Structure 1
Amino acid sequence: MATWTSFPHTRDYAFDATSVRKHWARLHAGDREPLPTNAKVLAAWALLHQGEFRKAFDAGMQLGPEGTTVANKAACMYANYLEPREKNKHELFLQAAERAAAQAAAEPDNANAHFLHAYALGRYSQGISVAKALTQGVGGKIKSSLENAIHLEPGHADAYITLGTFHAEVIDKVGALIGNMTYGARKDIALKLFEQGLALIPKSPIALIEYANGLVILEGDTRMDEATALYERAAKTKPLDAVERLDVEIAQAELAE
């Protein structure tokens, strides 16, 4: 595997097993991942939250099935935020999706196996173009996996937000009529999903960003002021870990343009 680009602020988030356990509920408010009982799994999560994505990935992969979720999350976060090469990024997402699909088959009640399958495919789709991905039959898999995650964990805020983004992007690419007929994508459902997700994690910078993007996709300039306000909230968030730091920086960069 190619060398991974380093997150430059690891010293700002010096997590260890003790501090991750202390802040677990806040760190995982969006995905509701259960607190690990295996100390080595918890240590891998500490590496992820610190921004040591490659180390977290390697540690998770070495732990077998117990480490699959943290390995997939590390790979997806790295690919989404830090990998500069499109080919490598696509490969990382597809590999994570494949591992998550196998995990979901082996552990059908694991909400985050379904969620990370959908997340990886969704980011891959955005990378190659949503329209192209839909022709490859990816859309139905994303929607099904996100709905499974919500069914298994009704408090899975990240799944609500991601499913809202799915509805919005399908409508944007194929139109409201075809989107509804083919994928069940509807504007009212998308907006409700965003609202449900944000209600669960109102201070999450990525939730604020995705909701803002969805408003612009679905409503255009009529909701631009609201979208800008959401970005401003995201930009002012005090990040708790490396992933939130990257989200906050995205919001700040967008506002600076």
Structure 2
Amino acid sequence: MTASAQSHWRYLCLFVLCLFSLHVYAAVDDDEADDEMDEVTAEELQMQDIPVDQRIFQEKWNDVPYKKSYFTYTDAQIRQKWDYLMRGLKVPYPSASYLKKEMEKYPFMKEGIENFHGDYNELEQRYLDVWRLFFAGDFQKARVEGLKLGTIGKIPALFSQLMNAIYLTERQSTKYMLLQDVANTAEEYFDDMDEARGDPEVAPIIAVVELGYAYAIARIAEESPVPIIVARRYIGKIKNSADDIVKIMPTQPLAYAFRAGVDAGIMRRVGKFTGRMTYGARTTTVEDSFAKALELAPDIPIINYEYANALIYMNRKRDLNKAISYLEKAMKIRPEYSMDALDVMYSYKRLQEVRLYALNFRSFRKFEKLRRKFSKITDRNLTSVLSDPITMDMLNHPEKYKLPEKK
């Protein structure tokens, strides 16, 4: 064999070995991923949105598991505490002067406000009343009253609905409908808000509405079968919104935490390799974005527990102790209003799940698969703080815990 032929043969062998190594790496990563084609119907794949049964708004929502009086504030207390209560969302205080200035500049912000006749002092009081309900945890009433107050009123209304869906709803199916309705309602304002995107005084409003939309879609996607995630283009919608929110509001801690959570969630479902190659999900994005969020607001429970989740989604058991430390940190934060209180409660429940995984499973994929199977069979919402943490008996015998069919 000539020197030229030998050289060619060596390069060919090297090329084949590289391909083989890449295949093995992908296979190992895919073994960690949720590559199983979950059973879905053709009808489910054709639906871009979850149908919303309006009866979910006529039923009485579950109460928060604490006394609402703990976080029921006077007008003066709300003004005094506003910056702290809004350290995550960065919503401007709805003073009469702010409302007048922005609503005269952007008439769409007045649309949908019931019984408004130009008295901005009265309007400020109405907004305060709705936020008071949200801070206390009176979510159903906050939603009803907030929807009467146009774009700005929809912020406490939609976040009340998010909190109820995620933490207080018993059924997974009801949770999904509530989340889909949040996304639908927020989406109605996107075209109107385009004209105000470059205005720094209105940017927080735009960012929070878009965050509500993206957060609702993300919470649906995180437990949905992979074929549905792909068919409904959830990942593209969520990633685009996450990037947009950070761009619009670079001082909003929850924007960075959400952006980080998006990439971590992708790795959770499809693994690191597929997540990076197909969706551009990167561990550096997760770490850098959470670092920024924690720098801006280290004492927000949801940022700490979502960082814990992200560490597990990216690295499985390798960073388990670190993840547990962030869940414990979230549990120790003293809440000042409903959202933080529920986040703290869920941190405790999530910690029990993580310990169950650590003690009983070698495979994260298997744990996740059993967890989703349990929720699918029982229709139970696993993020509800009103139900007990999941156990091995629940995972092994989900049929024993199935909720009765709704009439």
Could you state the TM-score of these two structures normalised by the residue count of structure 2? Answer: 0.60
Give, as a single letter, the amino acid of the residue that structure 1 aligns with 2:60: T
**1:165 equivalenced with 2:261 (yes/no):** yes
Give, as a single letter, the amino acid of the residue that structure 1 aligns with 2:247: H
**Structure 2 residue matching 1:33: 3-state secondary structure:** coil
CA offsets 1:107-130 (integer angstroms, 9 cap, x no match): 133111211111111112124356
Conserved 8 A contact 1:15-1:47: no
User: Which has the higher relative contact order, 1 or 2, with Cα contacts under 8 A spaced 6 or more apart?
Assistant: 2
Conserved 8 A contact 2:272-2:314: no
Aligned position for 2:89 = 31
Give, as a single letter, the amino acid of the residue that structure 2 aligns with 1:14: T
Aligned position for 1:104 = 190
Give, as a single letter, the amino acid of the residue that structure 2 aligns with 1:71: A
- Tell me the CA shift for residue 104 of structure 1: 2.5
Of 186, 189, 198, 2:285 maps to 189
Q: Percent identity?
A: 28
Aligned position for 1:94 = 180
**1:11 equivalenced with 2:107 (yes/no):** no
Q: Distance in 2 between matches of 1:29 and 1:206?
A: 12
- Tell me the CA shift for residue 217 of structure 1: 1.1
Conserved 8 A contact 2:143-2:158: yes
Conserved 8 A contact 1:235-1:252: yes
- Tell me the CA shift for residue 225 of structure 1: 1.3
**Structure 1 residue matching 2:316: 3-state secondary structure:** helix
Deviates more, 1:98-107 or 1:230-239: 98-107
Conserved 8 A contact 2:239-2:259: yes
Q: Distance in 2 between matches of 1:187 and 1:229?
A: 19
Give, as a single letter, the amino acid of the residue that structure 2 aligns with 1:77: M
Structure 2 gaps, min length 5:
1-56, 96-123, 198-205, 356-407
Computing the radius of gyration from Cα coordinates, the structure with the larger value is: 2
Q: Distance in 2 between matches of 1:224 and 1:209?
A: 13
Of 324, 344, 347, 1:251 maps to 347
- Tell me the CA shift for residue 220 of structure 1: 2.0
- Tell me the CA shift for residue 204 of structure 1: 0.9
Q: How many residues align?
A: 257
Q: Distance in 1 between matches of 2:222 and 2:327?
A: 20
Q: Distance in 2 between matches of 1:246 and 1:131?
A: 31
Conserved 8 A contact 1:13-1:242: yes
Of 192, 207, 212, 2:308 maps to 212
Q: Distance in 2 between matches of 1:239 and 1:52?
A: 16
Structure 1 gaps, min length 5:
none
Aligned position for 1:66 = 152
**1:237 equivalenced with 2:323 (yes/no):** no
Aligned position for 1:53 = 139
**1:114 equivalenced with 2:210 (yes/no):** yes
Aligned position for 1:150 = 246
Deviates more, 1:207-216 or 1:85-94: 85-94
Q: Distance in 2 between matches of 1:20 and 1:129?
A: 42
Q: Distance in 1 between matches of 2:187 and 2:74?
A: 29
Q: Distance in 2 between matches of 1:182 and 1:13?
A: 45
- Tell me the CA shift for residue 27 of structure 1: 1.0
Deviates more, 1:141-150 or 1:122-131: 122-131
Conserved 8 A contact 2:222-2:265: no
Q: Distance in 1 between matches of 2:80 and 2:226?
A: 39
**Structure 1 residue matching 2:140: 3-state secondary structure:** helix
Conserved 8 A contact 1:130-1:169: no
Give, as a single letter, the amino acid of the residue that structure 1 aligns with 2:191: A
Could you state the TM-score of these two structures normalised by the residue count of structure 1? Answer: 0.94
Q: Distance in 1 between matches of 2:335 and 2:188?
A: 32
Of 44, 48, 51, 2:130 maps to 44
CA offsets 1:169-227 (integer angstroms, 9 cap, x no match): 11222233332233221111111111111111101111100001101111222211111
User: What is the root-mean-square deviation of aligned Cα atoms in Å?
Assistant: 1.7
Q: Distance in 2 between matches of 1:66 and 1:250?
A: 28
Give, as a single letter, the amino acid of the residue that structure 1 aligns with 2:173: K
CA offsets 1:84-117 (integer angstroms, 9 cap, x no match): 1222111111111111112222113311121111
